[in-house]
Structure formats: C-alpha cells, structure tokens
Structure 1
Amino acid sequence: MLSMPSLNVPFTEEEMEGVRAAAAAEGKSLKQYLHDLGVREMQRKRFVSGAASWADKLRGEFDEAFPDEVPVSQRDRGTDAA
C-alpha cells in the first residue's frame, strides 16, 4: 500500500460540515470517506472513458440503423445546398 504524506486541504466551515455529514451518513470516518471519494472518482473516470470508447465504436452502426436520430449537424448530405 502506498501512503501519501499528510495533506492540508482547506475547507470552509460550511464545506467541512457537509463533508462530515456525508461521511457520517455512510458510516465512515472522515479519513475513510475522503479516501473512498478519490477512489470512486478514479473509477468513474475510467468507466466514462470506456463507455465513450464503446459508443464511438458502435456509432456508425447505430447511425445506419436509426438515420433520423443522427444530429443534423453530423448528417452526410452528399450534395451542397443550392
């Protein structure tokens, strides 16, 4: 396990109150809550990146199957408007 040196992250009193309440609502210590928050954000970003990549791979097939759903700005008109 890696350990980071103690970090001093400033919070306003109002922000800190909210963070403490959120930690308590999950039944976690403040330290565990903040750790899990960082890990969840990393996992969320990884999921969003994978989902976007998957959607990009299927976009052409979807656009062919549902041509009316393709945004007007992305439709291939084939000819220029007169």
Structure 2
Amino acid sequence: MPSLNVSFTDEELEGVRAAAAAEGKSLKQYLHDLGVREMQRRQFVSGAAAWADRLRGEFDDAFPDEVPPSERHGGSAAA
C-alpha cells in the first residue's frame, strides 16, 4: 500500500498529536482520516454547487422578488 512521509515543525506535530489523541486515534489513523474527509468534503461541495446551479433558473422563476445578497444595494448588509 502506498504511503508518504509528512514533515511538521515540533509545534505543528504537538498540535496534530493532541488532535489525534482527542479523537482517540493513532497519529497515522488521524492523518489518514483527515485526508479522506477533506476529499469527501470537496466532492460534496462540488456536487452541491452543481445541484444549485441546475436549479437556479427554476428558483429564480418561482421567487422573482428574491435578490441574492451580493446583488442587493449595499451588499449583504442590506439583508
């Protein structure tokens, strides 16, 4: 199985070890899971954005008076 070496400063490694211990995991398992979670998060965000883009026209037709905060006069503060 492929593996890799990752370099940390002493302070970084101390923080990562503490985070792994807080989750009750070995350092190796914690770093593995962290990478996998990030990959899954990116896939989810990409899928959610694509879903929203597909439905944007339908939403705009159903709610013509809704204006995205970024397009309001004064930006999101106008909300």
Which is greater in Rg? 1
Q: Which runs of 5+ in 2 are unaligned?
A: 73-79
Aligned length: 70
Identity of aligned residues (%): 81
CA distance in 1: counterparts of 2:21 and 2:51, whole angstroms: 37
TM-score by length of 1: 0.75
What is the correspondence of 1:1-82 to structure 2 with a 5 Å cutoff? 3-5=1-3, 7-71=4-68, 72=71
User: How big is the shift at 1:8?
Assistant: 2.4
Counterpart of 2:2 in structure 1: which amino acid? M
In structure 2, the residue matched to 1:78 is none
Q: Which runs of 5+ in 1 are unaligned?
A: 74-82
Instruction: Give the distance between the partners of 1:64 and 1:38, measured in 2 at CA.
Output: 40
RMSD of aligned C-alpha atoms?
1.6
Distance 1:19 1:65 in 2: 48
